[in-house]
């Protein structure tokens, strides 16, 4: 009797020989979906394991056991966890995260607005930090082991060593308190005009840029330096191409895979790791929304925010993997 697994392996091997790029990309997509499903289980189970109870928090210390039991029954908390998980997952697949326990409003509507605010902040932080990091990385390589390179390295190490909240509070004290030239996001942020919004996100954006810039710059520098020792770089210099032009035209494009990976990780941080920055600046984004929900044990909101953060992180890592695969000439032009 023929082994069915052997037939599957043979088919997979033939597909790889015919379309290696498409097979690898399909594998990354499948693994990402599988990972997101596993993360959804961890998020739901982790939220369930959190100490405290919404019914007790909502009713206060004077709540009677019967009142607590009634609220738990109304919210469906008296049903098995597996039943509630699959009902929640079915709603998530359809774009329905349920209703907030605290306000009764649909979680999807609230998250859509908050996610837009977080993406608005992350977009401007990325638009400033990514080109600046790549440019400074190439400058550091060009002036390797000289004063500009050492200054950039010292400043980047200092920035990496400082936590986000410390940088944020320093910027607040200096620019908002002492100089009075900066404003803060507030509860009326959504009613601000375009110019007012840009002014309101100046300090949060500066904080995020300082946090992610150093890491991206150092990884860009390391990736380009590893390429500089290649034979074709020596050939380019022997042909009379200037050192900086050789870095821009040859070294940087061939170091694109590790650079894209570190950029994707830091972009994921800009969206996922904004929780601390949003709390420091009272910014009405996903991070602040999640912290407020944790305070009152609003579990549908916590679960929705956690799953969206995980989806963004997995998506950006998947994009980085696919870009690295496509950038590999051995996979683009298989023998």
47 and 78: one domain?
yes
Residue 100 lies in a domain: no
d(CA 186, CA 254): 45
Buried-exposed string 185-208: b where 16+ CB fall within 10 A, e elsewhere = beeebeebeeeebebbbbbbbbbb
Q: Range with the lowest mean pLDDT among 60-74, 97-111, 131-145? A: 60-74
119 and 88: one domain?
no
d(CA 244, CA 222): 16
Residue 312 lies in a domain: yes
d(CA 191, CA 200): 12
CB atoms near residue 264 (< 10 Å): 20
83 and 118: one domain?
no
φ, ψ dihedrals at 81, nearest 5°: -65, -35
d(CA 272, CA 312): 7
Q: What's the confidence (pLDDT) of residue 34?
A: 92
pLDDT per residue as tens digits for the range 22-35: 777 788 888 889 99
- Cβ neighbours for 22, distance < 8 A, ≥ 6 positions apart: none
User: Which of the four pLDDT bands, split at 50, 70 and 90, describes residue 71?
Assistant: confident
Q: Is the pLDDT assigned to residue 1 strictly greater than 60?
A: no
Q: Is the pLDDT assigned to residue 37 strictly greater than 90?
A: yes
CATH code of residue 303: 1.10.3720.10
Q: Is the pLDDT assigned to residue 20 strictly greater than 70?
A: no
215 and 306: one domain?
yes
pLDDT per residue as tens digits for the range 235-292: 666 666 666 676 666 666 666 767 777 788 788 878 777 788 888 888 888 888 888 8
Q: Is the pLDDT assigned to residue 11 strictly greater than 60?
A: no
Angle at CA 92, nearest 5°, toward 104 and 118? 75
55 and 124: one domain?
no
Residue 10 lies in a domain: yes
75 and 112: one domain?
no
17 and 70: one domain?
yes
141 and 267: one domain?
yes
Residue 101 lies in a domain: no
Residue 99 lies in a domain: no
Least Cα distance to 265 among 313, 309, 304, 331 occurs for: 313
Residue 253 lies in a domain: yes
Total domain count for the chain? 2
Which pTM was predicted?
0.75
Mean pLDDT of 216-242: 72
Residue 33 lies in a domain: yes
Please give the share of the chain, as a percent, with pLDDT higher than 70: 75
206 and 230: one domain?
yes
d(CA 100, CA 91): 14
Range of the domain at 316: 107-332
Alpha-carbon distance values, 59 to 48, 66, 77, 112 (Å): 19, 11, 16, 29
131 and 259: one domain?
yes
d(CA 260, CA 251): 14
Q: Is the pLDDT assigned to residue 135 strictly greater than 70?
A: yes
Please give the share of the chain, as a percent, with pLDDT higher than 90: 3
Q: Which has more confidence, 217 or 20?
A: 217
Question: Among the three residues 93, 128, 154, which one is the final residue of a domain in this structure?
Answer: 93
φ, ψ dihedrals at 99, nearest 5°: -110, 150
Residue 272 lies in a domain: yes
What is the three-class DSSP state of 241? coil
117 and 202: one domain?
yes
- Name the token pair of 139: 């400058």
74 and 194: one domain?
no
What is the three-class DSSP state of 61? coil
Question: Among the three residues 93, 115, 131, which one is the final residue of a domain in this structure?
Answer: 93
Q: What sections of the chain are H helices per DSSP?
A: 4-18, 20-48, 54-59, 65-75, 81-93, 107-142, 147-161, 164-171, 194-200, 202-228, 231-238, 243-246, 252-254, 256-272, 275-280, 286-295, 299-327, 329-332
pLDDT per residue as tens digits for the range 165-211: 888 888 888 887 787 766 666 554 666 777 777 888 888 888 888 88
Q: What's the confidence (pLDDT) of residue 38?
A: 93
Question: Among the three residues 67, 93, 119, which one is the final residue of a domain in this structure?
Answer: 93
Task: Name the packing angle between helices 20-48 and 81-93 (round to 10°).
Answer: 130
Taking all residues of the chain, what is their mean pLDDT, rounded to a whole number? 78
């Amino acid at each position: 009797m023929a082994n069915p697994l052997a037939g599957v392996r043979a088919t997979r091997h033939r597909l790889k020989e015919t379309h290696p790029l498409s097979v690898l990309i399909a594998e990354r997509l499948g693994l990402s979906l599988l990972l997101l499903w596993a993360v959804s289980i961890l998020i739901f189970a982790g939220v369930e394991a959190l100490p405290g109870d919404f019914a007790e928090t909502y009713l206060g210390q004077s709540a009677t056991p019967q009142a607590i039991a009634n609220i738990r029954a109304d919210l469906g908390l008296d049903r098995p966890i597996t039943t509630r998980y699959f009902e929640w997952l079915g709603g998530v697949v359809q774009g329905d995260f349920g209703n907030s326990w605290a306000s009764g409003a649909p979680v999807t509507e609230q998250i859509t607005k908050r996610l837009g605010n977080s993406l608005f902040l992350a977009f401007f932080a990325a638009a400033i930090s990514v080109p600046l990091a790549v440019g400074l990385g190439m400058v550091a390589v060009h002036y390797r082991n000289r004063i500009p390179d050492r200054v950039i390295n010292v400043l980047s190490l200092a920035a990496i060593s400082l936590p986000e909240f410390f940088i944020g509070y320093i910027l607040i004290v200096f620019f908002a308190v002492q100089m009075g030239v900066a404003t803060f996001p507030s509860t009326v942020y959504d009613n601000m005009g375009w110019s007012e919004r840009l002014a309101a996100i100046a300090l949060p954006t500066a904080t995020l840029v300082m946090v992610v810039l150093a890491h991206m710059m150092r990884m860009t520098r390391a990736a380009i330096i590893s390429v500089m020792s290649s034979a074709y770089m020596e050939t380019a210099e022997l042909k009379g191409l200037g050192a900086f032009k050789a870095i821009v035209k040859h070294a940087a494009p061939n170091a694109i895979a590790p650079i894209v990976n570190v950029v994707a990780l830091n972009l994921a941080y800009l969206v996922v790791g904004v929780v601390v920055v949003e709390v420091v600046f009272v910014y009405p984004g996903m991070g602040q929304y999640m912290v407020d929900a944790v305070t009152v044990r609003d579990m549908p909101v916590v679960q929705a925010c956690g799953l969206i953060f995980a989806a963004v992180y997995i998506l950006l890592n998947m994009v980085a993997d696919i870009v690295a695969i496509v950038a590999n000439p051995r996979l683009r032009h298989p023998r």
